[in-house]
């Protein structure tokens, strides 16, 4: 049986929460312009803004797109509706079910990590919408080289680690300096570099409020119930899983991370690269 990783479970839970609370099935951050007030009712709009921003940055002349790490397939659907030919890469079996339900036979779905995809197909654009951070840098670029047409594009919209001292409470992201250095040595020209950290960061404030107001209190009530009704079991469970519980507390329940902290440690960028002819 496929061994499920914690980050995969996190994305599945994220999708259930987003669908229920925010009526959206995107798994990326929102794009919050100054005039959009940061509150749960506006998450839907912020994520639509992000999707529109991405769509706007697909260069003219592009016809076929490989959506790497397509989440629930919502953005792939948007691109199909806009007239593009789209295929998807989706390594998570649970998310892939959503993608198949949504897209049917409108797109081919490669159910594997991007690093392991094998196909003869070639694309005008390889898209990584908040999925680049999960990929092994060298392999992702090698696969992009292989699967893109000559003078094809690579569009990345994701966050990266800034080179600042201290430990970020938000994990994930390639180190930006290392990424730049690596890309400088690859046969790609950088065409676009847009910093959207300020517009993406409020998503963390929304997440922090959800943790403080819903997730942490729920967890605490369940833990209290278990301790008072099943003290022996609770003790054994807490001891056996002490490391995992401490990690979950630190990462998910400790009050959350603010947008300000995020912006200190991370930089959220849209990059468009073009393969040299
Ligand atoms: C944060 S979600 C972004 C989903 C979607 N692109 C969006 O913008 O809503 C990250 C996606 O990356 C996928 N992913 C994780 N590791 C991957 C890998 N090695 N290869 C391809 N996709 C991967 C996850 O399954 C998920 O679909």
Q: In the chain, which residues fall in CATH 3.40.50.150?
A: 6-198+266-275
- Does residue 95's CB lie within 6 angstroms of at least one atom of ligand 1? yes
170 band by pLDDT with thresholds 50, 70 and 90: confident
DSSP-derived secondary structure for 77-123: HHHHHTT-EEEEE---HHHHHHHHHHHTTSS-EE-S-GGG---S--E
Residue range 174-199: mean pLDDT, rounded: 97
**Among 194, 203, 212, which residue's Cα sits nearest to residue 262?**
203
Among protein residues, the one with the nearest Cα to ligand 1's atom 24 is: 69
* 79 closest CA partner among 116, 111, 52: 52
Pocket test for ligand 1, best of 5, 8, 12, 91 (most atoms within 8 A of CB): 91
Range of lowest pLDDT (53-62, 92-101, 264-273): 92-101
Contact 187, 146 (CB under 8 A): no
How much distance in Å is there from the Cα of 185 to the middle of ligand 1? 26
Q: How high does pLDDT run on average in the chain?
A: 90
Question: pTM here?
Answer: 0.88
Instruction: Give 242 Cα–ligand 1 centroid separation in angstroms.
Output: 29
CB 268 within 8 A of CB 161: no
CATH number of 6-198+266-275: 3.40.47.10, 3.40.50.300, 3.40.50.150, 3.30.2130.10?
3.40.50.150
From 65, 71, 129, 159, the mutation candidate for ligand 1 (largest count of ligand atoms within 8 A of CB) is 71
Q: Is 68 in the pocket of ligand 1 (CB under 6 A)?
A: yes
SS3 254: coil
To the nearest 10 degrees (0 to 180), the angle between helices 74-81 and 43-56 is 50
| 3-state SS string for 18-84 | HHHHHCCCCCCCCCCCCCCCCCHHHHHHHHHHHHHHHHHCCCCCCCEEEEECCCCCHHHHHHHHCCC
- Compute the distance from residue 7 Cα to the ligand 1 centre, in Å: 10
Confidence class for position 253, pLDDT limits 50, 70, 90: low
Predicted pLDDT of residue 213: 75
Q: What percent of the chain has pLDDT over 70?
A: 95
Nearest alpha carbon, ligand 1 atom 11? 69
Tell me the pLDDT tens digit for each residue of 221-243.
Answer: 888 888 888 888 888 888 888 88
Q: With contact defined as beta carbons under 8 Å apart, do 129 and 157 qualify?
A: yes
- CA 90 – ligand 1 centroid, Å: 7
The mean pLDDT value for 139-168 works out to: 95
Residue 220 has pLDDT above 80, yes or no: no
Residues 2-27, mean pLDDT to the nearest whole number: 77
Between 204 and 137, name the one with better pLDDT.
137
């Amino acid at each position: 049986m496929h061994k499920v990783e914690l980050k995969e479970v996190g994305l599945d839970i994220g999708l259930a929460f987003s669908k229920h609370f925010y009526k959206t099935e995107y798994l990326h951050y929102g794009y919050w312009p100054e005039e959009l007030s940061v509150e749960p009712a506006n998450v839907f709009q912020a994520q639509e803004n992000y999707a529109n921003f991405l769509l706007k940055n697909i260069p003219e002349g592009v016809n076929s797109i490989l959506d790497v790490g397509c989440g629930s397939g919502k953005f792939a659907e948007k691109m199909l509706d806009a007239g593009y030919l789209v295929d998807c890469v989706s390594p998570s079996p649970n998310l892939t079910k959503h993608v198949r339900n949504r897209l049917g036979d409108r797109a081919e779905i490669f159910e594997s990590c991007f690093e392991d995809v094998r196909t003869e197909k070639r694309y005008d654009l390889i898209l990584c919408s908040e999925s680049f951070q999960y990929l092994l840098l060298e392999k992702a670029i090698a696969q992009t080289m292989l699967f893109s047409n000559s003078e094809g594009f690579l569009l990345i919209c994701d966050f990266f680690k800034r080179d600042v001292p201290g430990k970020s409470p938000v994990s994930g992201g390639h180190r930006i300096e290392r990424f730049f250095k690596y890309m400088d040595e690859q046969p790609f020209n950088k065409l676009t570099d847009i910093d959207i950290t300020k517009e993406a960061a409020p998503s963390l404030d929304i997440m922090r409020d959800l943790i403080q107001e819903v997730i942490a209190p729920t967890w605490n009530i369940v833990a209290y119930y278990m301790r008072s009704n099943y003290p022996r079991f609770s003790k054994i469970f807490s001891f056996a899983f002490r490391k995992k519980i401490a990690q979950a507390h630190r990462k998910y329940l400790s009050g959350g991370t603010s947008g300000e902290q995020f912006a200190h440690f991370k930089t959220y960028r849209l990059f468009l690269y073009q393969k040299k002819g």
